[in-house]
Structure 1
């Protein structure tokens, strides 16, 4: 197929222009000039288009001598293809006479039968003896093979990108989307055939737009920004989660801005949400289980103030019989009120601990968290004859935490210590709860003077289904490890100086007190 090239190289264009103006150049001098060139050149008669001469480079490339080339026609020197019929080449040569140099694609076949895809340029040259058409050609087989390979790579890449949940976009400095890949269109729920003009912020949920603007502004050419998550609204109305990285680019005038690489992570977010819900249910089950173990002790504790309330009220009624006993009656009613308030406080504390809550991270003093649960620990220990000692740090220990969950960790560790001492032989079991601060962290230690555990069990005490108690399943301590890890802390178990067990955890101190 004949085709015109819009851009000729400077050297070819200049040479053809100069030769066309040399109407008095002798053919012999012209041939000497062409023979010195490294480019392949054939001279054709301007009228018949028959070959009249070839330079040395053309003879070497085609494997023919000049004498052997003279009688050859187009079908002798090219492949049998409709794109390379003689009429095509003749048409290009005829146009060169009227319109100037003509570029076209031609396939030359050498004497050895090797095809050489070429870029040919026909130029009319009015020599002194007779006019000729000079055809200069160069082998572009390697370039064509490279184009074919690149085309194949592009097709493979397109096929590969068909099923990917990720895309690429270029956002201009004004926030317009200048380019959007086909896979990106699918991620955003767009019809691949629809033209669009949109701003990047149009797809982002309103709550995330300021954060996306900040990411775009912080983009540099050196490296991509850290990945961030965004909730986007697709063109079909569906909501998806994307992980986006960005880098500034300046490829040309059309692709100048910020290159966005985004990936659909909706499935990952859904999985994380399911795991978070499962963890919340497990934490709630842990608190519920802890209260279940204390049910008898709590019932006993509540029976005392309730019985006292009844006694005080009955006594007040009896004392009201004589009219002059009003003072004593008031005293009895006030005492009953205090006991009722005490019972209400116990019930409120249990309810606040057991009730299922959404996770809320707040600023808290670790000492106050310990104080919140100390009553339950003392109650549980007192029921089995164990003493509890509280040693609070002198100054506040501010931490960022989910207060109920950290309280649950303290309860689990303390209950575990009480259980260890319950079956021990020593007469004076003591559990010490101490808070302290070291190297930027707040620590809480639960220390008992019991028999401890075997050395090989210390390292796996907080692993799932590992327990130091007979019949224990280890879920409580494993839950403690998960909660502390979520708060960027660490948890440990080691032998105490008294020979028992020292279980504790450390959480980062908050910068804001």
Structure 2
């Protein structure tokens, strides 16, 4: 309370001192203003008296016939040259008509020199008479000075008030003041000013009537000046006072600021703690040695351990999987050597209850307020559900692919039976022939051996057909290895030869040898080729159709190999073309719409792409683009 009272008293004293200094300074300025205003008034009146005397002498000399019109004109011109505020001088007769004027013709225009309106007043006055203030066509403010002659005539001069003020008021007056001639309503009649005065508190007005009826001379100060010593004194007192006030405020508010800062700090810490505990992402801070500095509630809930059990603990951690301790230590060592960059990896933790926890960890540098790298801040996300969902999707995809192969095999049952019948019929024929030879008394053993060798070859052929069918339908995980696509195409074409024959079609293969192998699963690639080639065969018609040809081409393009399957069928409807690879979308009447979807999934699994386009000669072209891996990529896979 005492500092507040002191501040109020000190402020009051300083305010009183400043008011007294300002009052004295204003009074000094007002005195100077009045003195200068009187000087200006005297200067203007003196110049007007000079013009009055000149007019009076001209009138007197002309009335006494001491000068003629030529001498009158010469003296009038000399006066006009020496006193530019006098615009013209004219001589009028008793009837008010101009007799002579300088410059010539000046007395005949409106608003120029004119005789006195009251002859009795002019005759009775020993001094020249002033006319009213009038505005000329060019905006100048003028008045007239007239002196009566004895014969009833008069001598009259036109005075420019603007020129009078502009010439007779020196520059040092206009540097400090705005000089204005105003009427009784403060309307400006004429002025000489550098800028428009904004402060009218320092203004002095002097009546200028006579000689100018209803006119006032107003002089206003541009600004309130000050003396250097007073200003320095005021500045010093004000500076010391402000410093004292500031010191008292600092002392008074220091305790309040400290309390407020502590309150804000507690609130901020509580708010941040609330934010951290509300996160569903686990947070873990550790130093370079792996010692845990901080864990949030979400991380504790993930692992089943409390913050007290984990904070301050060094590796190995209780939530580490015992099978991955060496791997985790190696990863932490690599993290410390990897520099200040964010790293991400997937790993498996072991909960307190012994169950596995699949997580994804994002490690970011932990930098303190001084820019020092204190350790690592980890964000841990539980991805167990995503892993399970991905595994379920993978199994379902494999089942779908196997189902597709079974469906394809079922659709090709008649063709497969026809292909198996050929070696089986040959086996039966060779067996019967061999039996007949053996029963013959003159049996030639060389013929029997030849028949048995041919029987063995047919048996091997039948076995290859059976093994191919078994590999095609067996449930298995994809096995990526080096595969020559040319052999896949040739074997698939041979496998579908009987099916193509049933549709009056032939398969033409353009597959150059010597191309680099690709990383692929041979069985899955055979499934794709069977599906695409059978689609092309079926699209070109059945047994009643004309003889057609299905073309399969393999070529190398940069670091990719391209397989194109071209048919000459009716093509694909535009309404179906855009959605052809979607599930349950088909262009066949009895199709299920799953084959091409499975094919695209298999090709994408091989990091390739499956596309289709209309053939220029009719039909459709399906393109498979597969990358040819670099040696290091092949080794990694």
Displacement of 1:269: 0.8
Q: 1:401 to 1:331 in 2, by over 3 A?
A: closer
Question: Does 2:466 match 1:351?
Answer: no
Match of 2:531 in 1: 412
User: 1:334 Cα shift?
Assistant: 1.7
Q: Which has the larger radius of gyration?
A: 2
Shift of 1:218: 5.8
Deviations 1:61-86 (A, max 9, x none): 9xxxxxxxxxxxxxxxxxxxxxxxxx
1:265-315 C-alpha deviation (Å, 9 max, x unpaired)? 111111111111110100110111111111111112212211221121111
Aligned to 1:171: 286
How many angstroms does 1:374 deviate by? Answer: 2.6
Paired with 1:440 and 1:319, the residues of 2 have a C-alpha distance of: 59
**Could you say which residue in structure 2 is the equivalent of 1:35?**
none
- Could you tell me the TM-score, scaled by structure 2's length? 0.56
**Number of equivalenced pairs:** 390
Q: Distance between the aligned counterparts of 1:398 and 1:208, measured in 2?
A: 34
* Contact 1:169-1:260 within 8 A present in 2 as well: yes
CA distance, structure 1, for counterparts of residue 503 and residue 337 of structure 2:
62
**Contact 1:419 1:469 (C-alpha < 8 Å) held by counterparts:** no
> What secondary structure, in the 3-state scheme, does the structure 2 residue paired with 1:300 have?
helix
1:228 equivalent in structure 2: 345
Equivalent-residue separation in structure 1 for 2:285 and 2:548 (angstroms) = 69
Contact 1:119 1:138 in 2 (8 A): no
Partner residue of 2:364 out of 247, 268, 280: 247
Question: Taking structure 1 as reference, are residues 255 and 308 closer, same or farther at Cα in structure 2, changes over 3 Å only?
Answer: same
Q: Secondary structure at the match of 1:55?
A: helix
2:403 equivalent to 1:288: no
What is the alpha-carbon distance in structure 1 between the residues aligned to residue 529 and residue 509 of structure 2?
12
Structure 1 gaps of 5+ residues are 1-41, 43-53, 62-117, 122-134
Structure 1 residues 276 and 60, CA gap change in structure 2 (3 angstroms): farther
Structure-2 residue corresponding to 1:146: 264
Alignment equivalent of 2:314, drawn from 198, 202, 205: 198
Q: Is 1:370 aligned with 2:485?
A: no
Q: Name the residue aligned to 2:3.
A: 55
Partner of 1:315: 433
1:495 aligns with 2:614: yes
What is the TM-score normalised by the length of structure 1?
Answer: 0.69
State the Cα distance separating 1:173 from its structure 2 match. 2.3
1:435–1:444 Cα contact (<8 Å) kept = yes
User: Is the contact made by 2:518 and 2:628 (CA closer than 8 Å) also made in structure 1?
Assistant: yes
Alignment partners' CA distance in 2, 1:208 and 1:273: 24
Task: Please list, as runs of the form range in 1=range in 2, the aligned pairs for 1:38-437 lying within 5 A after superposition.
Answer: 54-56=2-4, 137-140=255-258, 142-161=260-279, 164=280, 166-194=281-309, 197-199=313-315, 203-204=320-321, 205-206=323-324, 208-209=327-328, 212-213=331-332, 216-217=335-336, 219-221=338-340, 223-225=341-343, 227-251=344-368, 256-325=374-443, 326-423=445-542, 427-437=546-556
Task: Kindly indicate whether the alpha-carbon contact (under 8 Å) linking 2:561 and 2:626 is maintained by their aligned counterparts in 1.
Answer: yes
Q: Which of 432, 449, 453 is the aligned partner of 2:568?
A: 449
Residues 1:170 and 1:60: Cα distance change in structure 2 (over 3 Å): farther
Contact persistence 2:359–2:382 (CA under 8 A): yes
Per the TM alignment, residue 357 of structure 1 is displaced from its structure 2 partner at its CA by 0.9
Cα separation, 2, equivalents of 1:290 and 1:211: 49
Distance 1:367 1:331 in 2: 33
Deviation digits for residues 3-50 of structure 1, max 9, x if unmatched? xxxxxxxxxxxxxxxxxxxxxxxxxxxxxxxxxxxxxxx7xxxxxxxx
Q: Describe the shift of the 1:250–1:192 C-alpha distance in structure 2 as closer, same or farther (beyond 3 A).
A: closer
**CA displacement at 1:335 relative to structure 2:** 1.8
